[in-house]
Amino acid sequence: MNIVLVGMQWGDEGKGKVIDILSRKVDYIVRYQGGNNAGHTVVVGKQQYIFHLIPSGILHPGKICCIGNGVVIDPGVLLGELNDLRNNGIDFSRRFKVSTLAHLIMPYHKNLDQLRERRRKNKIGTTGRGIGPCYADKINRCGIRMIDLLNPGLFKDKLKDNLKEKNEIFKKVYQHPGFSFQKIYAEYLGYGKLFAPYICNTAALLNKAVRDKKDILLEGAQGTFLDIDFGTYPFVTSSSTISGGSCIGTGISPDKINKIIGVCKAYTTRVGEGPFPTEFAAEFGKIMRDKGNEFGATTGRPRRCGWFDAVIAKESVMLNGISELAIMKMDVLDGLDKVKICTSYKYKGKIFREFPGDLTVLSKAAPVYKQMPGWPNQRNKPRSFKQLHPNARAYLLELQKLLGVKITMVSVGSARKDTIFI
C-alpha cells in the first residue's frame, strides 16, 4: 500500500504527528517537496522532535527514510539534523537515503530570499530559507544538485557560472558584496563527502520497493493553499504541495498510489501573509493561538488562527483526491460556547459555495458560518469516538458531511496516545 499524506490548509496541520503514527505500519517514509521551510513536530513522551528535512518516520527503527528528488536541501541544515539524531542515539546510517537529483540551497539563495522579501511592497512572509530562489534556479536550469557534490570538476564549473551572474546581481541590484567561490566550494565539497554514503537513485530504490510489495508513505510538506499553482498565489511556497507533487518529487508513477490522506486542523491557521477569510479578530485570535500553542515550528512566528473553512477544505479534497481525513487539534476547541464552520463566502451580494478563482474575492469576502454548540473542557482525554462530547461528535460529523470524506483519525493532543482511530 502506497499512501500520500498532505496538508489540506496552509501548513502546520499536524502532519508530523500523523506521519509518525503511520510510520509503524510502512517500510519507507519519503519527503517529496519543499525544504527546511517545513517544521514537522513529533512528540514522544516528554521529548519533542522537529523535523525540517528528514522524514518524520525516522524515530522508528528499521524504517527507510528518503529525501526525494523534489525536495530542496540546505546541506548545513541536513547535517545538523543528522547530528541531532546521532546525539539522541537514533541510528540512521543504513536507512537514510537522499536523491542524487535533489537541488541544493546555496548561501546566495538564502540571501536573495531575504533581500527580495525586504524589497517587496506586498510581502509574502517567506521563511527566509532560500526555498523560492532555489526552485527558481532549478526551473532556470542553473541549479546545483546533490550528485554534483560528488564531481568536483563539474561542481566547480556550475558554481563559477552561478556566482558570475549572481554576484553582479547582488552588487548592482542589492548593494551586497556577493559571495566567495572558494568558501562555498570548500564547504559544499565537505558536505558531499559527508553525505556520499546516503546519496543514491531514490527513484530506483522506491520503485524496487513497490515491486517488492513494500509499503511507502509519502510525506507532504506545507499545505494545499501554499501550492505554487493552486494556492493563494503569490502568497504561496514554490513547490507542488498537492498530492500530485508526490509523483514528480519521487519518481513513483501515479498508478502506484493507493490512498491519499488529508490532514487538517479542526480550525484553520496560517503563517505569513495572504488572504484568510475565516481569520479571528485580534483578541480571540490571541486566545486561540495561546491555547493551541500556534507558533511556527520553523521560524517561531505567531500563526494566524481562524474558524474551520469548509470551502477551502472541499477544494482541497478535490485537488488532492483525499480518500481519508485526519482531524487534528480537536482539544483546542474544548471549552468554547460555540464553534463555527465557514460553508460559503459572500462577496458583493453574491454567495460563493466553491473556492473562488479570483483571489480578490477570497481577500475581501465575508465568511458565511454554520454555528454549532461548543463543548466543555474534557477532564480526561477521550480515547474513542464515543468518549468525545456529543457536541464534539456532531461537529466532526458535520465536517465529514460537508467534505464528503470519511474521518479515520481524530487527534486530541500532541502525544501519540492522544489519537482516536475510527
Instruction: Please select the residue that binds ligand GDP; options are 6, 8, 10, 15, rule is CB under 6 A.
Output: 15
- What is the pattern of x (binds Mg ion, CB under 5 A) and - over residues 296-335? -x--------------------------------------
Q: How many CA atoms lie within 13 A of 283 on its CB side?
A: 0
Which among 73-81, 324-332, 342-350, 394-402 is the span making contact with ligand GDP, rule CB under 6 A? Answer: 324-332
Q: How far is the CB of 415 from ligand GDP (least distance, A)?
A: 8
Instruction: Compare residues 10 and 395 and give the one whose CB is closer to ligand IMO.
Output: 10
Q: How far is the CB of 40 from ligand GDP (least distance, A)?
A: 4
Q: How far is the CB of 329 from ligand GDP (least distance, A)?
A: 4
Distance CA 401, CA 16 (A): 26
- What is the pattern of x (binds Mg ion, CB under 5 A) and - over residues 174-213? ----------------------------------------
Distance CA 310, CA 402 (A): 7
Distance CA 42, CA 335 (A): 25
54 three-state secondary structure: coil
Distance CA 326, CA 18 (A): 8
Q: Which does 411 bind (CB under 5 to 8 A by kind): ligand GDP, ligand IMO, Mg ion, none?
A: ligand GDP
Q: How far is the CB of 155 from ligand IMO (least distance, A)?
A: 25
Distance CA 126, CA 137 (A): 17
Q: What are the residues whose beta carbons fall under 8 Å from the beta carbon of 205, sequence distance 6 or more?
A: 66, 97
Marked catalytic residue, from 20, 40, 103, 113? 40
60 is catalytic: no
Instruction: Compare residues 12 and 74 and give the one whose CB is closer to ligand IMO.
Output: 12
Distance CA 153, CA 149 (A): 9
Q: According to the binding rule CB under 6 A, does residue 392 interact with ligand GDP?
A: no
CB nearest ligand IMO: which residue?
Answer: 272
40 is catalytic: yes
User: What is the distance, to the nearest Å, from the Cα of residue 222 to the centroid of all Cα atoms in its chain?
Assistant: 2
Report the relative pairing of strands 96-99 and 199-200 from DSSP bridges.
Answer: parallel
Q: According to the binding rule CB under 6 A, does residue 407 interact with ligand GDP?
A: no
Q: What is the total count of residues that contact Mg ion (CB under 5 A)?
A: 3
Residue 351 and residue 311 in contact, taking contact as beta carbons nearer than 8 Å: no
Q: How far is the CB of 72 from ligand GDP (least distance, A)?
A: 17
Binding footprint of ligand IMO on the chain (CB under 6 A)? 7, 10-12, 37-40, 124-127, 129, 131-132, 221-223, 226, 237-238, 271-272, 297
Q: Which does 320 bind (CB under 5 to 8 A by kind): ligand GDP, ligand IMO, Mg ion, none?
A: none
Instruction: Compare residues 43 and 147 and give the one whose CB is closer to ligand GDP.
Output: 43
Cell of 257: 498510489
Distance CA 68, CA 270 (A): 26
Distance CA 304, CA 214 (A): 39
- What is the pattern of x (binds ligand GDP, CB under 6 A) and - over residues 51-80? ------------------------------
Distance CA 129, CA 37 (A): 6
- Could you give the C-alpha distances from 293 to 12, 66, 75, 127, 363, in angstroms and in order? 12, 30, 29, 19, 26
Closest CA to 31 of 61, 62, 53, 3: 53
Instruction: Please select the residue that binds ligand GDP; options are 169, 413, 416, 422, rule is CB under 6 A.
Output: 413
Q: How far is the CB of 315 from Mg ion (least distance, A)?
A: 21
Cell of 254: 501515479
Cell of 305: 488562527
Give residues 7-46 in contact with Mg ion (rule: CB under 5 A): 12, 39
Give the catalytic positions in this structure: 12, 40
Task: Name the residues that contact ligand GDP, by CB under 6 A.
Answer: 7, 11-17, 39-41, 43, 297, 328-329, 331-332, 411-414, 418
